[in-house]
Chain A
Amino acid sequence: MKKKKRMNVQKKVFYLLLILVILLGALNILKARGLFIPEQPLVYFTAKVIDLDSLTLEQKIAQMVIVAGAKENYWPWKNMQLGGIHLFARQNEHIFNNTIIDFQNEMPIPFFVTADLEGCVSPFGFIREFTAASEVNTTEQAFEKGIDEGKFLQKLGFNLNFAPVVDLDDDIWKCRTFPGDEHRIAELAEAYIVGLQAEGVIGTAKHYPGKTLVVKDPHKFVVQAEIGKNDVYPYEYLLDQGEVKAIMVSHIITSGEIVSEGVPSVASKKVVDDLRKDFDGLIITDEIHMLGLKRFYLTVDEMYVGVFKAGNDIVLNFDNNPNEIYRMIQVVKAAVERGEIPETQIDASVKRILEAKGFTVIS
């Protein structure tokens, strides 16, 4: 009798545990898919005119984030109304095109859809080959390359390309930079950007302030470089010409012509502020999950605040976990609310982003 009673208790425990495991398993799946992230309120605007005050602080910060455009994160990225998605390689044009259509569908503010199409570095290797920057010799060729890549990207639905590289040397890939000295590189980059942007795709000069593709990293974590006048020349030239609409800043700690004061350039207020003096386009961070940047901070939260506080308009965070992206937005929001990051700075960045997306911004 006692034995039977104990067996019954065991059975009850079994059913209870089984139900709890199934429930918690389901909750974990839903959480991993970002389904507990609250949906942002709808954005209302007419004739592409947006009142900045109609956006919540969360919506504004979300506009400043570009994430990896993985299909499994389709809902959380849309719910958070993020600024953009970056697409890695896919098998064919059809998949690229459908992914972009699905993401853009019913988005009040469309995503920036970004790629790293430089020529030899390309996510479209299965579809077609492009001329490497190192194989371009004349401004006509650079312009044609811009037109060709711009047409291709535009057709698929991309609107922002993280190219051209205007570093002077490339010791690693040996194909990502244009040939010649800083003057030649600047002219070729300018021609490429004009061609690319003529097709409706924004070009990004990278990686400010230079020496990204040559620095060897013996300690694996902290990368430092002495920046010369010639490294910065392509940026000065492009800013003078007024065609470049976006610049990507690297994680390198710099001295010399550009002094980042011991901080990775991307998190250096001085570097970003100095760049901003002559440039009203988009300043974009390099992807933030590099140890060179991460190891600089005690916590990831400090890093999140650091890159926003520096004055970057767009932060690239390719973390696959939607809950972490949402957490980043909350961490930055809290920093704005306690006055560590001025809201006027966030507003200025969002204004630039929305204008680059074709909106007229009022406030």
Chain B
Amino acid sequence: MMVSKRTLFIVNISLGLLLTLLLLTFFEVKLPTLGQAQYLLDKEEPLCAVSWKEEFTVWDDLDRCCLEARKQLECRREQQGDFDWACSTGAGMKYWLNSKAYNYCRQQPYW
């Protein structure tokens, strides 16, 4: 298969960049991720709430909320008021997060 010199040059540059990224990852040099940028650019306040039966309580402790949400079986998109995500296991307790909070949670080491 014939590949033009120009194409090969572009492929080599791309491979070089990929190699650099892989080297940085291997030596655990942390680069800001797209998720972090998204979180920082989002000016919305992170929001979390807990619901159980008829009770619905807004919860200020975002870190703990993230951990509890992570313990659930699944998080799926579900719009309710200011909240965009619902994390739950079965029909019981539910943790509600807005997108800002959800993006924050996903960056935590336990997620």
- Point out residues on A near B: beta carbons under 8 Å: 3, 6-7, 10-11, 13-14, 17-18, 20-21, 24-25, 27-28, 31, 68, 88-91, 116, 120-127, 129, 171-175, 216-218, 220, 223, 287, 289-292, 318-321, 323-324
Q: Interface 1/0s, chain B 47-81, versus A by CB < 8 A?
A: 00010110101011111100110111100000000
Q: How far is the CB of A58 from chain B (nearest CB, A)?
A: 21
The answer to whether B12 touches A14, judged by C-beta atoms less than 8 angstroms apart, is: yes
User: Which one of A20, A220, A318 contacts B60 once the chains associate, using CB atoms below 8 Å?
Assistant: A220
The answer to whether A68 touches B110, judged by C-beta atoms less than 8 angstroms apart, is: yes
Q: How far is the CA of A68 from the CA of B111 in the complex (A)?
A: 10
B contact residues around A125 at 8 Å (CB): 73, 88-93
The answer to whether A289 touches B61, judged by C-beta atoms less than 8 angstroms apart, is: no
Q: How far is the CB of A320 from chain B (nearest CB, A)?
A: 6
Q: How far is the CA of A319 from the CA of B22 in the complex (A)?
A: 22
With contact pairs A14-B11, A89-B89, A120-B93 given, residues A321 and B22 touching in the complex (Cβ less than 8 Å)? no
A contact residues around B64 at 8 Å (CB): 290
The answer to whether A10 touches B71, judged by C-beta atoms less than 8 angstroms apart, is: no
The answer to whether B22 touches A223, judged by C-beta atoms less than 8 angstroms apart, is: no
A contact residues around B11 at 8 Å (CB): 14
With contact pairs A10-B8, A122-B92, A289-B63 given, residues A172 and B72 touching in the complex (Cβ less than 8 Å)? no
Q: How far is the CB of A13 from chain B (nearest CB, A)?
A: 5
The answer to whether A24 touches B50, judged by C-beta atoms less than 8 angstroms apart, is: no
With both beta carbons as reference points, the residue of chain A lying nearest to B57 in the complex is identified as: A172
Given contacts A122-B93, A173-B55, 19 further A-B contacts (CB under 8 A): A3-B5, A10-B5, A14-B11, A17-B12, A18-B15, A21-B15, A88-B72, A89-B71, A121-B68, A121-B93, A124-B89, A126-B90, A172-B50, A174-B52, A174-B55, A217-B61, A218-B60, A220-B60, A324-B109
The answer to whether B89 touches A13, judged by C-beta atoms less than 8 angstroms apart, is: no
The answer to whether B93 touches A31, judged by C-beta atoms less than 8 angstroms apart, is: no
On chain B, which size bracket covers the interface? Answer: 35 or more
Q: Interface 1/0s, chain B 19-59, versus A by CB < 8 A?
A: 10011011010000000000000000000001011010101
With contact pairs A88-B71, A126-B73, A172-B50 given, residues A287 and B110 touching in the complex (Cβ less than 8 Å)? yes
Q: How far is the CA of A122 from the CA of B88 in the complex (A)?
A: 10
User: Which one of B5, B28, B92 contacts A120 once the chains associate, using CB atoms below 8 Å?
Assistant: B92
B contact residues around A129 at 8 Å (CB): 90, 92
Q: How far is the CA of A120 from the CA of B53 in the complex (A)?
A: 10
With both beta carbons as reference points, the residue of chain A lying nearest to B90 in the complex is identified as: A125
Q: How far is the CB of B110 from chain A (nearest CB, A)?
A: 4
Can you list 5 residue pairs at the A/B interface with Cβ under 8 Å? A21-B22, A88-B72, A90-B73, A289-B110, A324-B109
Q: How far is the CB of B31 from chain A (nearest CB, A)?
A: 14
With both beta carbons as reference points, the residue of chain B lying nearest to A324 in the complex is identified as: B109
The answer to whether A14 touches B92, judged by C-beta atoms less than 8 angstroms apart, is: no
Name which of A13, A172, A292 has the most chain B CB atoms within 10 A of its CB.
A172
The answer to whether A318 touches B8, judged by C-beta atoms less than 8 angstroms apart, is: no
The answer to whether B89 touches A173, judged by C-beta atoms less than 8 angstroms apart, is: no
User: Which one of A17, A122, A171 contacts B19 once the chains associate, using CB atoms below 8 Å?
Assistant: A17
Q: How far is the CA of A91 from the CA of B61 in the complex (A)?
A: 28
Q: How far is the CA of A20 from the CA of B16 in the complex (A)?
A: 9
With both beta carbons as reference points, the residue of chain A lying nearest to B70 in the complex is identified as: A88
The answer to whether B57 touches A25, judged by C-beta atoms less than 8 angstroms apart, is: no
Q: Which 3 A-B pairs have the closest CB atoms?
A: A125-B90, A125-B89, A17-B15
The answer to whether B5 touches A7, judged by C-beta atoms less than 8 angstroms apart, is: yes
The answer to whether B63 touches A290, judged by C-beta atoms less than 8 angstroms apart, is: yes
A contact residues around B16 at 8 Å (CB): 17
With contact pairs A28-B25, A122-B89 given, residues A220 and B109 touching in the complex (Cβ less than 8 Å)? no
Q: How far is the CB of B90 from chain A (nearest CB, A)?
A: 3
B contact residues around A291 at 8 Å (CB): 63
Q: How far is the CB of A51 from chain B (nearest CB, A)?
A: 35
With contact pairs A21-B22, A24-B23, A28-B22 given, residues A216 and B60 touching in the complex (Cβ less than 8 Å)? yes
Q: How far is the CA of A17 from the CA of B16 in the complex (A)?
A: 7
The answer to whether B62 touches A220, judged by C-beta atoms less than 8 angstroms apart, is: yes
B contact residues around A126 at 8 Å (CB): 73, 89-90
User: Which one of B8, B26, B91 contacts A14 once the chains associate, using CB atoms below 8 Å?
Assistant: B8
